[in-house]
């Protein structure tokens, strides 16, 4: 079949299918996000136009924003579907590098197709080309190598035959999932080749379920049987495996208290008697108390990021760590007994080896007791009356008015701690807190992608004024395309959580709150977020008290669905009120600051764990 490189690539995209979480067969690539330029408009752009009815194309306003939307789409489909993003060469391509970092850190699949310079080099230097004096083969797209699971530059059409199977492997493999970058020189995009028909035969990709090694399983079962106070930690891998029910059944059968990581949040219904709460810095005191006492921790589907482990101070120095993970890279960390395999299959086979083994009921009951204390604490934070509302109160309102099948998101600043620690889930998996890369701006762009994918409930994204100012243009993209969601913008006049970190360690207020930034004005201008969001095509509501937030959010939910576009709630929030889980996070503290004492004490605790 004689096709251009671009035509062949598009036909291959259309032939790829995927098995959704509910068993349905769906397109692996449900759509493409594109901003056209001279590096992709005639080659890939023409090929996409030929299939405009079969492969939806969405135009973004920034390359970073639409690539983040693709990442949000992948998360909302539990990695079963993959967004495709194409840009021109130069600045358009480089704008996507940050989004690739988000996908890489969070192990989320996205296919990036940046245009590239001419392989012939005849017109060099072309518009937007960065020339490397000692390496004419290097282009700006080489920047993607550091943030791609798989990178290739297609310099001949027939290279697609060998690289496309690898593209599909990385995008659908539970251990290797992450961003794939195919750099497409614009002359190669339009070159023709006689491609074999077999390349375009439909293929359905089903996530493999590798079984753990039996000897390692037997060893892990032995360690658990000897445990007096075991703890089960559930991460994102449990979510992507579809192993949530299996994990809960495992905990119930053996009486093991359960905690969640950021990526595993809402796997366990909040009111479940074994739910100890979320773990770590942005988690809950309840989970952290149990973690400090646990003698064996079974961590499933998690890479145990520093916020989860409180920089490796949340566990006892004597704890025995067992990891069950599809990725050996993650399983072997920190001297763990590494059980490499699928979460669902691994828990099933581990439970069979444990047979009727049960934990001491007194330890099992600790989960409910400790979480009850944490719930009472969160209730007290939400009950504060009068004045400007706190983050905890705003989250409480959104939580109260949300439906079981809704979806809530955030990414950076102080809101991750409020959502992770305070959210009370009752339905299926319903949360996306992007805290692997903690990318400001993901909240709105990712919500656009999530709203496309999560059609069974309403998406609500929560963000601060700093994130809104950093990347807001995809609000217009969503409004224009007709993808409804609610955005709750909490305005506290600056980067409040970093100011908290700065001042909490003894630093002076500087360059975080707007009041502490350099300006030539005695009365600097303030952003009118309501008018700005309205100008981007959104319906807008404002609030200044807790009661106002409840009324505004209720109206926004109705408006988003009725009008088929984003609705924005703008609310003034307190800049210095937080939900604290009582855990430490390591940052570099200069010796002359007051926070150095706590730093030294916590470093000593960390060292005892690492040596243990």
Final residue belonging to a domain, choices 373, 402, 422: 373
- Pair (192, 273) in one structural domain: no
- Pair (156, 280) in one structural domain: no
pLDDT at position 429 is: 87
Across the chain, mean pLDDT equals 96
- Pair (368, 389) in one structural domain: no
Closest CA to 314 of 299, 331, 329, 328: 299
- Pair (143, 8) in one structural domain: yes
What does the chain come to in residues? 612
Residue 590 placed within a domain: no
- Pair (391, 345) in one structural domain: no
Half-sphere exposure in the Cβ direction for 491 (13 Å, CA): 16
Residue 53 tokens read as 């009815």
Final residue belonging to a domain, choices 177, 205, 233: 205
- Pair (79, 168) in one structural domain: yes
- Pair (455, 353) in one structural domain: no
Q: How confident is the model at residue 19 (pLDDT cuts 50, 70, 90)?
A: very high
Over residues 523-580, the pLDDT tens digits come to 999 999 999 999 999 999 999 988 899 999 999 999 999 999 999 999 999 998 999 9
- Pair (53, 75) in one structural domain: yes
Final residue belonging to a domain, choices 163, 181, 205: 205
Residue 592 placed within a domain: no
Over residues 408-420, the pLDDT tens digits come to 999 999 999 999 9
Over residues 178-220, the pLDDT tens digits come to 999 999 999 999 999 999 999 999 999 999 999 999 999 999 9
Residue 585 placed within a domain: no
Residue 13 placed within a domain: yes
- Pair (221, 118) in one structural domain: no
pLDDT at position 612 is: 78
- Pair (365, 462) in one structural domain: no
Residue 75 placed within a domain: yes
Q: How far is CA 584 from the centre of its chain?
A: 22
- Pair (312, 329) in one structural domain: yes
Over residues 229-255, the pLDDT tens digits come to 999 999 999 999 999 999 999 999 999
Structural domain span for residue 463 = 384-572
Q: How confident is the model at residue 611 (pLDDT cuts 50, 70, 90)?
A: confident
CATH of the domain at 351: 3.40.50.1220
Over residues 425-463, the pLDDT tens digits come to 988 889 999 999 999 999 999 999 999 999 999 999 999
Pairwise CA distance, residues 165 & 214, whole Å: 31
Q: Which SS3 state, helix, strand or coil, does residue 222 take?
A: helix
Number of domains in the chain: 3
- Pair (501, 454) in one structural domain: yes
Instruction: Give kind and range of the element (H or E) at residue 53.
Output: none
For the chain, the helix, strand and coil percentages under 3-state DSSP, each to the nearest 5: 40, 15, 40
Residue 442 placed within a domain: yes
CATH of the domain at 101: 3.40.50.970
Residue 581 placed within a domain: no
Residue 567 placed within a domain: yes
Q: Which three-class secondary structure string do you get for 363-425?
A: HHHHHHHHHHHHHHHHHHHHCCCCCCCCHHHHHHHHHHHCCCCCEEEECCCCHHHHHHHHCCC
């Amino acid at each position: 079949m004689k096709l251009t490189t671009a035509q062949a690539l598009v036909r291959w995209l259309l032939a790829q299918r995927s098995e959704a979480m509910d068993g349905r067969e769906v397109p692996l690539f449900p759509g493409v996000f594109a901003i056209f330029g001279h590096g992709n408009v005639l080659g890939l752009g023409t090929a996409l136009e030929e299939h405009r009815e079969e492969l939806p194309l969405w135009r973004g306003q920034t390359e970073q924003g639409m690539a983040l939307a693709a990442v949000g789409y992948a998360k909302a489909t539990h990695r079963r579907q993959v967004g495709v993003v194409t840009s021109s060469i130069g600045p358009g391509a480089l704008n996507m590098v940050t989004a690739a970092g988000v996908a890489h850190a969070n192990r989320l699949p996205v296919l990036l197709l940046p245009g590239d310079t001419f392989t012939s080099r005849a017109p060099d230097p072309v518009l937007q080309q960065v020339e490397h004096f000692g390496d004419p083969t290097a282009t700006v797209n080489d920047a993607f190598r550091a943030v791609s699971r798989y990178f290739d530059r297609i310099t001949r059409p027939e290279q697609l035959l060998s690289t496309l199977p690898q593209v599909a492997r990385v995008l659908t493999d539970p251990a290797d999932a992450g961003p794939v970058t195919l750099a497409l020189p614009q002359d190669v995009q339009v070159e023709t080749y006689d491609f074999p028909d077999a390349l375009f035969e439909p293929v359905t990709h089903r996530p493999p379920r590798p079984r753990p090694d039996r000897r390692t399983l037997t060893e892990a079962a032995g360690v658990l049987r000897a445990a007096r106070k075991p703890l089960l930690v559930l991460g994102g891998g449990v979510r992507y495996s579809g192993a949530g029910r299996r994990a809960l059944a495992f905990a119930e059968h053996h009486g093991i208290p359960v905690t969640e990581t950021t990526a595993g949040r809402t796997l366990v219904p909040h009111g479940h008697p074994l739910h100890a709460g979320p773990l770590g810095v942005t988690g809950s005191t309840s989970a952290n108390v149990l973690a400090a006492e646990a003698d064996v921790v079974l961590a499933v589907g998690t890479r145990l990021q520093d916020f989860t482990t409180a920089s490796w101070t949340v566990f006892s120095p004597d704890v025995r760590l067992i990891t069950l993970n599809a990725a050996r890279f993650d399983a072997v960390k920190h001297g763990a007994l590494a059980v490499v395999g699928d979460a669902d299959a691994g828990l099933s086979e581990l439970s069979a080896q444990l047979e009727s083994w049960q934990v001491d009921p007194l330890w099992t009951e600790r989960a409910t007791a400790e979480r009850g204390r944490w719930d009472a604490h969160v209730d007290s934070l939400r009950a504060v009356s009068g004045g400007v509302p706190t983050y905890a109160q705003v989250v409480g309102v959104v939580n109260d008015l949300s439906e079981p099948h809704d979806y809530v998101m955030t990414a950076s600043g102080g809101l991750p701690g409020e959502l992770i620690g305070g959210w009370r889930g009752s339905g299926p998996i319903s949360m996306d807190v992007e805290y692997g890369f903690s990318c400001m701006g993901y909240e709105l762009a990712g919500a656009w992608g999530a709203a496309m994918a999560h059609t069974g409930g309403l998406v609500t994204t929560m963000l601060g004024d700093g994130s809104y100012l950093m990347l807001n243009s995809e609000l217009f993209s969503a409004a224009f395309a007709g993808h409804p969601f609610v955005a709750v913008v909490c305005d506290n006049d600056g980067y409040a959580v970093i100011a908290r970190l700065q001042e909490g360690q003894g630093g002076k207020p500087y360059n975080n709150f707007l009041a502490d930034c350099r300006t030539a004005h005695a009365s600097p201008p303030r952003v009118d977020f309501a008018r700005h969001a309205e100008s981007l095509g959104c319906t807008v509501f404002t609030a200044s008290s807790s009661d106002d937030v409840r009324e505004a959010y209720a109206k926004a939910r109705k408006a988003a669905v009725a009008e088929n576009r984003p609705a924005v709630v703008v609310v003034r929030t307190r800049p210095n009120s937080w939900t604290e889980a009582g855990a430490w996070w390591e940052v570099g503290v200069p010796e002359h600051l007051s926070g150095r004492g706590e730093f030294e004490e916590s470093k000593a605790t960390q060292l005892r764990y690492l040596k243990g």
